[in-house]
Amino acid sequence: MRTRRRNGRFLKMTILLSLFLLASCASTHDKFHDQTMDFAAVRSVAVMPFANLTNDKLAGERVRDVFITALLSTEAMYVLPTGEVARGVSRAGVADPTSPSPEEAKKLGELLKVNAVVTGVVREYGEARSGSTSANLVSLSMSMMEVDAGKVVWTAAATKGGISVWDRLFGGGGEPMNVVTKRAVDEILDKLFK
């Protein structure tokens, strides 16, 4: 009787341990790197206007400006000014600048002399509310399309901010929007370079 109970406990422990180990092996599925791509060959990029799924109609442009600055400051690649990208979009006749087709990306590459185009989606930008508590939240995803082959070589997503347990218990309103945006963009860039 005692042995059976001990065996049962051992079985439970084994199952729990296995679950724990399996969980640690699981990937977050928020990053993709084309293993055949030589990212060092990407010397200049055009950051396209970001698709905006939020209520703030300028959220896409706000995040785009932060992203451009952060990407430039890595000194790893040159980022074209937004006005130059707009000129390219207009001359190439890109139907939807937020998601250019491979053919359009190729055309942009030739016109703007860039190696890749970066597109992005702003999914959340603003205050998240729960009861009487609120905090700033930013959720982004981005991808890079190499212009020669017209294929996506990198994608990443990041979500920062939101209501923490501390906010829920003691209030406080979370971090300022610019801090949350910067943290989200930094995480995205970490996923590009690591």
Partner 1 sequence: MKSWTSFLSRAAAVSFIGIALFQGCVRTKSVAVKDVPLNAFHPPVMVFPLENMTGNPVPARDIRDAIAKKLRSEGVAVAEDGTMEKFLARHRLRYTGGIDIDAARAIREETGAGSVLLTSVGLYSELVPPKVAISARLVSTESLSILWIDSVGLSGDDSPGILGLGLINYPKALVEKATAQLAESLTRHLSGRRSETSGGPKGRRYPPESEFKSMAFGPELKPHVLSFSLPASGGGKGTGTARLEVSLKPPSGNGVTVDYGIRGGTAKGAGEDYRFTGGTLTFEPAETKKTIEIEIAGDARGEEDKTIEIALSDPVNAVLGWCARHTYTIVGSAARRADPFRENRVVPEVTFDRASQAVPENACGVAARMVLSFVTDRDVTVPFEFEVTAGGRQDYTSVTKSPLVIRAGAQSADIVVALADDDRAEEDRKLDLSMGDPVNALPGALRKQTITIKDDDRIRSIAVVPFYNLSPRKNAGEMVGLHFIQHLVEAGGFLVVEPGEIREKLLDLRIIMDDGISLANADDLFKRLDADLILTGRVLDYQDTQGGGGIPVVDFSVLLLERKGKSVVWHSKSRNRGNDGVFLFDRGMVRTSHRLADRMVGTVVGDMLK
Q: Between residues 70 and 149, which has the closer beta carbon with respect to partner 1?
A: 70
Stretch that binds partner 1, among 26-34, 82-90, 124-132, 147-155 (CB under 8 A): 82-90
With binding defined as CB under 8 A, does residue 177 bind partner 1?
yes
Q: Between residues 45 and 153, which has the closer beta carbon with respect to partner 1?
A: 45
Among residues 51, 76, 86, 152, the one that binds partner 1 under rule CB under 8 A: 86
Among residues 31, 33, 87, 168, the one that binds partner 1 under rule CB under 8 A: 87
Report how far residue 133's alpha carbon sits from residue 168's, in angstroms, rounded to the nearest whole number: 6
Stretch that binds partner 1, among 8-16, 23-31, 75-83, 126-134 (CB under 8 A): 75-83
Number of residues that bind partner 1 (CB under 8 A): 30
With binding defined as CB under 8 A, does residue 76 bind partner 1?
no
Q: What is the CA radius of gyration of the chain?
A: 22
Residues 54-73 that bind partner 1 (CB under 8 A): 58, 61-62, 65-66, 68-70, 72-73
Q: Are 176 and 135 in contact (CB under 8 A)?
A: no
Contact residues toward partner 1 (CB under 8 A) are: 49, 58, 61-62, 65-66, 68-70, 72-73, 75, 78-87, 90, 176-179, 181-182, 185
